[in-house]
Structure formats: C-alpha cells, structure tokens
Amino acid sequence: MGCSLQIPASVHVGINSIEKLTEVICHTVATKVALFTDKGVREAGLCNRAIEILSEQNVAYEIFDSVIAEPSFHDIEHIIKQVSDTNVDLILAIGGGSVMDTAKLASVLLGSTYTILDLIDDASLAKKMVRTIMVPTTCGTGSEATCNAIISIPEESSKKGIVNISLIPDEVILDVQMIEKLPKSILAATGVDALAHCVECFTGKKANILSDAYAKVGASLIFSNLVKAYTNPDDLEAKLSLMVGAYFGGIAITGSGTTAVHGLSYPLGGKYHIPHGVSNAILFAPVMNFNRKSCQPQLAQLFDTVNPCMPNLDEDTKSRYLVDQITEIVRATEIPVSLKKFGIDKTDLDFLVKAGFQQQRLLANNPKLMSENDIQMIYESVL
Ligand SMILES: NC(=O)c1ccc[n+]([C@@H]2O[C@H](COP(=O)([O-])OP(=O)(O)OC[C@H]3O[C@@H](n4cnc5c(N)ncnc54)[C@H](O)[C@@H]3O)[C@@H](O)[C@H]2O)c1
Ligand SMILES: [Zn+2]
C-alpha cells in the first residue's frame, strides 16, 4: 500500500538561526502573533530576541507564558480561553514539549467549533486554524515535527496523545543557542527521550522506508553526541547534532510511532508526575531487552550505523550491545533508574499494570506482543 510522510514546510538550523524569524514573519504576513512560552524559558531570556524581531517588523504580539509543564487538558482549555479573545493569526512557540504541544493544540482549537474534549474522543476532527512556528528549547521531544500533542488526563491518572497531521508545525527554527545553557538534567532526560523516539520508531511495526531514514540518522546523531554534550556543556556542535537528531526523531514519530517504552511511561507521568524523558529513560533498556529477539535485525542495523568499525559480529551480539549502549547512556547521564526514588513501590503495581495495558495505541506498534504479565515483569524490574 506504500507509505507517506508529512513534515514541516521549512526548517532553519544553526547557531543564531533565530534571526531567520525575520524572514519567516515577512513571508507569513502576520498581523498579530501569540507567543507561547513558560516562565522558566522566559526567565532564561530565550524569548528576548524573538520579541525584538516582532517589534522590528512592527507586528503586534501578545505573550502567554503561563504554560504548565506536562499540561493536562484542563490547563490547555484554560490557556486557550485567554488567547481566544485576542484575534491572533500566527502562533510562535518558544519552549520544550509542554509549550509546543500547548501551542499546537491552540492552532487547531482557536476559532473552531469543537473542543479539546471532542479531540480527545475523535482527533480526526482537528483542522489547522492558525499557522505555527516552533522554536524548541529542549533537545527533546521532537514535538516541533510531530503530528502529536500529548496531554495528561488527571481523571485517568495517565497521558494521552492527540494525533492528527494538522498538528504538524509549519515552520521550525532549531537554534542551538536555545539549549546552550539548558540545565544538564533536562538535557539528559530530553536527549534520552529523543533517542527513544528514534529507536522505537525504527523497531516498531509501523516502521517504513521513510520513517526509517529519519529514525536511523536521528539515532546515530544522538548516540554519538548525547554523552559528549552532557559532559561538556560548551560543545555546541554536539548540542546542534542533538537538536537535529531530536527533530528527525519527531519526523520518525509522524511516519511510524513510538512503542511500549512510551506506552508504559505514560502512567508514570500521568499519576506520579515523573518527567517524560526520565520515565522513558527508566523503561528504555528493560523494554528493549524484552523486545530484542523480535527486532534483532533492526537493532543490529542501528548498531552498525553507530559502530561502523565492528561489522563482524553476529546479529544477536550486535542487538545485545546496542541495548547495552542504551543502558550506558542512561548511566552516564546520571538519570535515576529506579521507581523507588519517586516513591513508587509494589503497592502501585496493580494500577501501573492496568494503566500500562490500556495504552493499546502504542502497544499495538510494539514489535513483540505484551501481556499484562509481561508488563508486570517490566515494572517490577525497575522498582
Ligand atoms: N508532541 C510530541 O510529539 C511529544 C513527544 C514527546 C514528548 N512530548 C511531551 O512534551 C512534554 C515534555 O517536554 P520537555 O521534555 O521538552 O520539557 P518541558 O517543556 O516540560 O520543560 C521542562 C522544564 O524545562 C524548562 N526549560 C525548557 N527549556 C529550557 C532552557 N533552554 N533553559 C532552561 N530551562 C528550560 C521549562 O521551563 C520547564 O520547567 C511532555 O508533556 C511530553 O508528554 C510531546
Ligand atoms: Zn517522548
């Protein structure tokens, strides 16, 4: 049946590429811009140059900086109510996945007849109402490329993805200066999240020739640069590679999709508020070990891309070494790997297993069928 892949219309990459905003604004003919961000990003000064450019171009703007990390659909409703009176015709998002997902949902909700609850029930209703420009400040979720927006659902103690191609951003600016001073722990967690996107998309059942191209290059960039960027925060070349790897991971998500790492991670974020990248990092190697035999050729191909000087090993060994490399990256970036640290113990297992098993959208893409017993074993292994 073939495959297709939708991606943002343009992407600008480099040191100081925020300057491209001038050109983008000129082409888009905007009269009023909504700038979405959060307090942490704004206080880090990361919106300053964009605001200057909007003023230089005589474009009216309003700043919405009350985005909440890992927002619930109530948080999104609240912020969209504030924006809806302002008649904006362009959305600019400067921030991590939380900011970008909020802005993407605003882009399909402002002026629409459906609500966010309607979209949770039926994401196919979404239509792009306002054009979007994304400037990620983590490295990262890849939300600047994906057709997804992830929201938490407090009533279900879990998270859910709203998936529709109209959520794909129009323009993307990957400026490495945005992550120059990113706190190390956020760099680590978001970098491992991006690596998980690439590896899950490459090994998932929906993987195809188009998503594979992005997933493979993205994985290679992140495997080679994450520990470098973590141990030497001044290495802007490594950081730029991470940003591009994360962007490619986002495109791979649109073309393929994540699997059980993300599926089992959602209840950890939804109920226990473990940051998205950290919960994925905890589950990454255990889930890949469980999946290994069912996606051995793909893991071996990734191993060859990352380690081109070791071609003579057999597939089984290569796939084991690749999972070992994942474990090593999580260790080297000092991400906690036990759920105990987050106050989770055996008494939480029943909830986790039920909630994890409900993530059938992602489990269906997992290369190996996962039963409730398998899910229990995986959570137990990280307690
Ligand atoms: N849409 C998608 O395809 C997709 C994919 C993966 C994850 N997500 C979602 O993205 C969210 C997580 O996003 P995230 O991991 O990028 O983190 P985030 O956006 O939640 O930000 C985390 C914290 O980092 C701070 N921060 C961000 N950039 C900074 C910088 N450069 N300097 C200083 N502080 C900075 C923020 O202020 C915030 O306090 C979750 O809700 C997750 O579910 C979405
Ligand atoms: Zn993710």
- What one-letter code names the amino acid at 209? I
Q: Is 164 in the pocket of ligand 1 (CB under 6 A)?
A: no
- Tokens at residue 350, please? 């029943």
pLDDT tens track for 58-103: 999 999 999 999 999 999 999 999 999 899 999 999 999 999 999 9
Distance CA 180, CA 161 (A): 29
Distance from the alpha carbon of residue 276 to the mean position of ligand 2, in angstroms: 6
pLDDT(263) > 80? yes
- In this structure, are 208 and 356 located in the same domain? yes
Q: Is 44 in the pocket of ligand 1 (CB under 6 A)?
A: yes
pLDDT tens track for 7-38: 999 999 999 999 999 999 988 888 999 999 99
End position of a domain, from candidates 149, 179, 209: 179
Q: Do residues 218 and 252 touch, judged by C-beta distance below 8 A? A: yes
User: Does any domain span residue 219?
Assistant: yes
End position of a domain, from candidates 141, 159, 179: 179
- In this structure, are 65 and 127 located in the same domain? yes
User: Does any domain span residue 289?
Assistant: yes
User: Does any domain span residue 254?
Assistant: yes
- In this structure, are 163 and 230 located in the same domain? no
Looking at all shown ligands, the one closest to residue 233's CA atom is 1
Give the number of the atom of ligand 1 that is nearest the alpha carbon of residue 69: 20
At what angle are helices 184-203 and 296-306 packed, to 10 degrees?
130
Q: Is 365 in the pocket of ligand 1 (CB under 6 A)?
A: no
Instruction: Using DSSP, state whether 161 is helix, strand or coil.
Output: strand
Distance CA 267, CA 262 (A): 10
Q: Is 38 in the pocket of ligand 1 (CB under 6 A)?
A: yes
- In this structure, are 337 and 189 located in the same domain? yes
Report residue 112: phi and psi, to 5°. Answer: -90, 170
- In this structure, are 257 and 118 located in the same domain? no
The number of folded domains in the chain is 2
End position of a domain, from candidates 113, 145, 179: 179
Residue-level pLDDT at 157: 86
- What one-letter code names the amino acid at 375? I
- In this structure, are 112 and 193 located in the same domain? no
CATH number at residue 268: 1.20.1090.10
- In this structure, are 31 and 94 located in the same domain? yes
Q: Is 41 in the pocket of ligand 1 (CB under 6 A)?
A: yes
The runs of H, that is alpha helices, within 94-183 are 97-109, 116-121
Distance CA 145, CA 292 (A): 28
Distance CA 289, CA 382 (A): 13
Give the number of the atom of ligand 1 that is nearest the alpha carbon of residue 46: 31
- In this structure, are 232 and 328 located in the same domain? yes
Looking at all shown ligands, the one closest to residue 94's CA atom is 1
pLDDT tens track for 168-227: 999 999 999 999 999 999 999 999 999 999 999 999 999 999 999 999 999 999 999 999
User: Does any domain span residue 126?
Assistant: yes
Stated as kind and residue range, the H or E segment containing 34 is strand 32-36
The partner residues of 160 in beta bridges, in order of sequence, read 151
Instruction: Determine how β-strand 148-153 pairs with β-strand 158-163.
Output: antiparallel
Distance CA 184, CA 57 (A): 35
Distance CA 28, CA 102 (A): 21
- In this structure, are 205 and 295 located in the same domain? yes
User: Does any domain span residue 5?
Assistant: no
Q: Is 37 in the pocket of ligand 1 (CB under 6 A)?
A: no
Looking at all shown ligands, the one closest to residue 142's CA atom is 1
Q: Is 8 in the pocket of ligand 1 (CB under 6 A)?
A: no
Integer CA distances (angstroms), 3 to 31, 219, 256, in order: 37, 21, 10
User: Does any domain span residue 4?
Assistant: no
Residue-level pLDDT at 27: 86
297 half-sphere exposure, CB direction, 13 A CA radius: 2
Q: Residue 142: give the domain boundaries.
A: 10-179
Nearest CA to ligand 1 atom 9: 97
Q: Does the predicted model carry a pTM greater than 0.95? A: yes
| Residues sharing a CB contact under 8 Å with residue 54, sequence separation 6 or more, in sequence order | 25, 33, 35, 61, 92
- Tokens at residue 229, please? 């960027």
- In this structure, are 211 and 81 located in the same domain? no
Distance from the alpha carbon of residue 95 to the mean position of ligand 1, in angstroms: 7
Q: Is 280 in the pocket of ligand 1 (CB under 6 A)?
A: no
User: Does any domain span residue 255?
Assistant: yes
User: Does any domain span residue 273?
Assistant: yes
Instruction: Please name the residue that has the structure tokens 């986790």.
Output: 352
pLDDT(1) > 80? no
Distance CA 100, CA 134 (A): 7
The angle subtended at Cα 225 by Cα 222 and Cα 230, nearest 5°, is 110
What single DSSP character describes residue 167? G
- In this structure, are 167 and 218 located in the same domain? no
What single DSSP character describes residue 109? H
Nearest CA to ligand 1 atom 43: 150
CATH number at residue 106: 3.40.50.1970
- In this structure, are 269 and 282 located in the same domain? yes
